[in-house]
A and B are shown apart, each in its own frame.
Chain A
Amino acid sequence: MPNIQRHRAILLAYLGMIVLLLLTSLVSPGFLAAAHLRSTAVLAAFIGIVALGQTFVIIGGGIDLSVPWVLNAAAVLVTMIARGQNEPLLWAVPLILAAGALVGTVNGLGIAVFGVPPIIMTLAVNVILQGGILVYTGGAPTASAPPAIQFLAVGRIGPLPVVLGIWIVLAVAASILLSKTAFGRYLYAVGTSRTVAEFSGVPTLRTTVLAFTLSGFSAALAGILLTGYSAQAYLGMGDPYLFTSIAAVAIGGASILGGSGHYIGTVAGALVLTILTGLLPALNLSNGALLIVYGAVILVTVSLASETMSDILSILRRPVRSGAGKVRGGEPT
């Protein structure tokens, strides 16, 4: 069953999520109530939206450390431009989203054209944006989020929170992009082997740049929505999302080396992280314990998905036959 084998990591993430949910309902019986599930999903949506771009970048073999301050810059800009009014949003939101995408494009160009390692390129862009926003705001952003954005972040249409709706739409779009378009195919190819992709005529440069562009876009979008959730923008609001976006992708079954994973897995990763966050207070555990559990969950999931572990599993499954059908290993020279 090659398909199950290939999607094992993603299945694992969902399995983990279900186990966590059951565990949580044991510890705090009210957890599975609709209202609580809804608020968990809303919180997961923010992580999920940031992690969307991160998923594309990681599948393509990169990493985006500029997420925190792209997010923060978008949040600050949208509140400072709109000044609590809805009207300016009509042009400000598209502009800010475009600016976020542009930052991503710059990242992608630096990496694909000049060969700067993704870690360094996005790190530098992150601190430059950080400084820029600090200078722009003088250290204290003041304006509050306009009502329209607050509606997007905390409002509801019927039983469905708006931000959750946005997330679902984005998740569908991202999944289609990954599974059903030439770009998606190219992205996996570039992440698996840039050389093979190059030899196959894949537009590697364009593919890498587009992945980072998407990451800039999704971080900016998350920033705008987050201002609605907290009713304002504040400095440092993006910082937690560096860790959570990467963690969500990793827990969702993508290899940090690129070429594998899917946004569907990242969705589970975002949910797992959020459920954990909700679970620990119920257990009377502190923030410190939460970090420890986060780290442990990452270690366990990536270990389970690792090559060594699947080797061990396959040995356990087939104790007699040896060597046959093994994928790795060299050929005669």
Chain B
Amino acid sequence: MTASNSRPLESVASRPALHRDALRTALSDRAPFLVACAMALVLIAIYGSLREGVFTLEEINLDTAAAMTLILAATGQTIVLLRGGIDLSIGGVISFGTVLAATKFGDDPARTALWSVLIGLIGFGVGAINGLLITVLKLQPFLVTLATWSIVSGAALLVLPTDGGSLPSTWMAFGTASILGLSTSVWLLVLLCGFWLWFRRTRLGISIRATGSNERSVLLSGVSPLSINVATFGLSGLFAALAALYLTTQTGAGSPTIGKDYILPSVAAAVIGGISLFGGRGGLIGTIIGAFILTIIGNLVFVLSVSSYWQPIVSGVILLVSVLASSIAETSARRSLS
């Protein structure tokens, strides 16, 4: 570095070097997110060059609709990952949500509304129980949510043993409706981004992130770990329930097993988008980009008219690339600091 090397303790505090490195640190800070953006751009460019009409509103509407369930599920997962945990139970909640919707909604709008709220509450409740068990029994989130995943999935199978049920046509219409040329999915996405911009600035949002970053400091500040965990996993459950409700607008049916298809992809979307599995770092925008990347890969495979079976391969490789990018950025950042 500089000539100050000969005076070790002084050079730690040398200021001019700090400013020079500001850009570099800012870049390496966001390396995983930037890698995600770059990958998304490349994928979109390839997709756009292969097919007409990719850059139209209609395409945006379609892709958003396709990605929305994953985005909602991954939103909850993002909050949990920021806390430094993981939530496998969202698989159960999604399944349970869709079968409840498909069997309880009926045709009465009031009933539909009531059950929508109930499903949301159930999702939050399952998550709150996760948070409670994790805090009180000092158990690992992985095991607790593995168990509650199984339990809630079982409950879904009891309600509806196989795919089926039906949803009111007005409910289904939500998925296809459009306002100002943009589908409800897009508006939902806008709403979600709005929620995030709000949430990340709330005291709770900051505290969740802080807990994932340095739990001991946060506890010392007098924050109750129970409230943080209940809020974190409760929100995750709530978003899983919302994902279930949205999913039914697309599929028009309930499925007691569909939830498991969203558990690991929700983690993957978040990780591709730059969320650290060690907590504290990343944001929802990255996760949304991650979810879109996973969705566009499906489109690409379709357009290239190769076997759709290539989709998981490409997703897996992209997941590895992004996590390697972030781990390399992390090591280099640590080296430049220490």
A residues neighboring B (CB under 8 Å): 63, 65, 110, 114-117, 119-121, 123-128, 130-132, 134-135, 138-139, 243, 246-247, 250, 256-257, 286-296, 298-299, 302-303, 306-309
Contacts and interface: CB of A to CB of B under 8 A. Distances in A.
B256 interface: yes
B319 A127 contact: yes
Contacts of A63: 142
Classify chain B: how many residues form its interface, as a range. Answer: 35 or more
Given A288-B153, A308-B137, 15 more contacts: A63-B142, A110-B320, A123-B264, A124-B316, A127-B313, A131-B311, A138-B307, A256-B142, A288-B156, A293-B154, A294-B154, A295-B148, A299-B144, A302-B144, A303-B137
B267 A291 contact: no
A292 B312 contact: no
Top 5 A-B residue pairs of the complex, sorted by shortest distance between their CB atoms = A288-B157, A291-B154, A134-B309, A131-B313, A295-B150
The interface centre, meaning the residue of A131, A243, A286, A298 with most chain B CB atoms within 10 A of its CB, is: A131
* Majority-rule SS of A interface residues: helix
25 contacts: A110-B320, A119-B277, A120-B319, A121-B320, A121-B323, A123-B268, A123-B316, A124-B316, A126-B316, A130-B312, A131-B312, A132-B313, A134-B307, A139-B309, A286-B158, A288-B155, A291-B154, A291-B157, A292-B155, A296-B151, A298-B147, A302-B144, A306-B137, A306-B139, A308-B136
B313 to A, nearest CB: 3
Contacts of A298: 143, 146-147, 150
B157 A124 contact: no
A322 B277 CA distance: 38
Contacts of B312: 127-128, 130-131, 134
Interface of B: 86, 133, 136-140, 142-144, 146-159, 161, 256, 264, 267-268, 271, 277-278, 307, 309-317, 319-320, 323-324, 327-328, 330-331
Given A123-B268, A256-B140, A299 B310 contact: no
B316 A128 contact: yes
A135 B304 CA distance: 15
A191 to B, nearest CB: 14
B151 A291 contact: yes
A292 B264 contact: no
A123 B143 contact: no
Nearest to A291: B154
B151 A295 contact: yes
A120 B277 contact: yes
Nearest to A289: B154
Contacts of A125: 316
A117 B276 CA distance: 10
A135 B146 contact: no
